Chain A
């Protein structure tokens, strides 16, 4: 029988919440950075590009460690955010979302950047001659034309967040009900004798969610492209 325990449900819920929140919060930053990298030229651009891509190549544990020493409760950024905005990351699900967001960020930026670079810039010039300043041009021409890439970036980020393990467990540990995602729960179960049967259920759930996300993104992207080409 395929029955999920309350702990399993908690882990699934938590995973979805963390993945959704991290994707949505990362999105405006992702669009901003992708636009900057696609369109602006400035000193230190390649350094920024490299910095953003770091989580893709660093061992996740290293990223988690870096988050711990910068966003922990007593760490510089962590203390600042906690004191001024009441946002605490350490050993909270918010910390897991931060870790997932950071890990997913390069994938998101990459997808959005590519789609912005593919836009015919002459359309933006046309918008300028019609009276649209940079912000209007961005909102009415660049952003809608980049939509398929933005959707792709969001799905990649969501999937990455769902699968995130190393950075999260290093940064916020593996606390059931707070930071124990599907991945962490599977890991915990496999460490217990006889737990692999229970782990299998969560594995199936993980596959199902990822599959659904891919199908959904395909559907959205198709619709967005169809809209661009006028049907």
Chain B
């Protein structure tokens, strides 16, 4: 289980996010600029909260690395991002332009010093249908291909948690439809808990079963996907 209780102030903007997430996919849902990306940056360790505590992992996730405090101002714990083992799929993919797709996919395993695992590699490549892209450079990929490779790269470092930050936002409607099934497979097959950040209710409905609604730097509601209808109603009212 992921437990987050963090605070951070940027100028006038105050972010205060207490929430938890369990196995499966949890969506951080809310309008742009609500602070969703900042929250997952803090979970990943790329941004330091002013105050709070982030813990990850217990038996319900089958996590063998044990109880892990990733960040805690009280006990002054701040695990650096490279030791958190949290996969992150960025909005723009952020593939390494100087490495082939195959080397991008293998990067996390390689720098973490994990043993080569061709079965896992092939499984992920097949799941995301990127086998024909392995020799290419990221510069020669379409937006949808790039995001699939980014998902594969994050998965192959064997993360304990996968963060997806608006992975479809940079794609057109047709591409979004193409990728959605891969993300659903990912959720069902990969057995990694997922935090899915989006402002798009339709996407969230397909991926997540739990929703944490973020508005203006605060958690305004948590619950099931029925929250999305409510939110839409609020917006219309």
Which residues of A are at the interface with B, using a C-beta cutoff of 8 A?
120, 122-123, 125-133, 136-137, 140-141, 144-145, 227-231
List the interface of chain B (C-beta within 8 A of A). 44-46, 80-88, 90, 92, 94, 96-98, 100, 107-108, 111-112, 136-140, 153-154, 157
- Taking the closest CB of chain A, its distance from the CB of B141, in whole angstroms, is 9
A-B contact pairs, 16 of them (CB 8 A): A122-B90, A123-B97, A126-B88, A129-B87, A129-B88, A130-B82, A130-B107, A130-B111, A130-B154, A131-B82, A132-B82, A132-B107, A145-B97, A228-B97, A230-B137, A230-B140
- Given A126-B90, A230-B138, the answer on whether A131 and B96 have CB atoms closer than 8 Å is no
With beta carbons under 8 angstroms apart, the residue of B46, B86, B111 that contacts A125 is B46
| With known contacts A128-B81, A129-B44, A129-B46, A230–B97 Cβ distance under 8 A | yes
- Give every chain B residue within 8 A of A128 (Cβ-Cβ): 45-46, 80-82
Chain A residue numbers with a CB within 8 Å of B154 are 129-130
Q: How far is the CB of A150 from chain B (nearest CB, A)?
A: 13
A123 interface neighbour in B44, B46, B83, B94, Cβ under 8 Å: B94
A145 and B98 alpha carbons, distance in the complex (Å): 7
Contact call B111/A132, Cβ cutoff below 8 A: yes
CB distance from B220 to the nearest CB of A (A): 28
Are A123 and B80 closer than 8 Å at their CB atoms?
no
Taking a contact as CB atoms under 8 Å apart, the answer to whether B112 and A131 are in contact is yes
Nearest A residue to B41 via CB reads A125
Given A126-B88, A128-B82, CB of A136 within 8 Å of CB of B137: no
In the assembled complex, the Cα of A228 lies from the Cα of B98 at a distance in Å of 4
Q: Which residue of B lies closest to A140 (CB)?
A: B111
Nearest B residue to A144 by beta-carbon distance? B98
Q: Which residue of B lies closest to A123 (CB)?
A: B94
The CA of A108 and the CA of B135, in the complex, are separated in Å by: 34
Chain B residue contacts of A136, Cβ below 8 A: 82, 111
Q: Which residues of A contact B87 (CB under 8 A)?
A: 129-130
Cα A126 to Cα B153 in complex, Å, equals 10
Residues of chain A within 8 A of B98, CB atoms compared: 144-145, 227-228
A125 in contact with B81 (CB, 8 Å):
yes
Known A-B contacts A229-B137, A230-B138; A126 and B82 likewise in contact (beta carbons under 8 Å): no
Interface contact A130-B157, CB-CB below 8 Å = yes
In the docked arrangement, what's the CA distance between A129 and B153, Å?
A: 11
Give min CB distance, A29 to chain B, whole Å.
Answer: 24
Say how far B219's CB is from chain A's closest CB, in angstroms: 24
CA distance A74 to B98 in the complex (A): 49
Q: Which residues of A contact B96 (CB under 8 A)?
A: 123, 126-127, 141
Given contacts A130-B107, A131-B82, A131-B157, 5 further A-B pairs with CB under 8 A are A129-B87, A130-B157, A228-B139, A230-B136, A230-B138
Q: Are A230 and B108 in contact (CB under 8 A)?
A: no
Give bound CA distance, A22 to B45, whole Å.
Answer: 41
Bound: A118/B100 CA distance, A: 21
Q: Which residues of B contact A228 (CB under 8 A)?
A: 97-98, 139
6 A-B pairs with the lowest CB-CB distances in the bound complex, closest first: A230-B137, A131-B112, A130-B108, A126-B94, A129-B88, A128-B81
Q: What are the residues of chain B within 8 A of A131 when measuring CB–CB?
A: 82-83, 85, 108, 111-112, 157
Least CB separation from B159: chain A residue: A129
CB distance from B147 to the nearest CB of A (A): 13
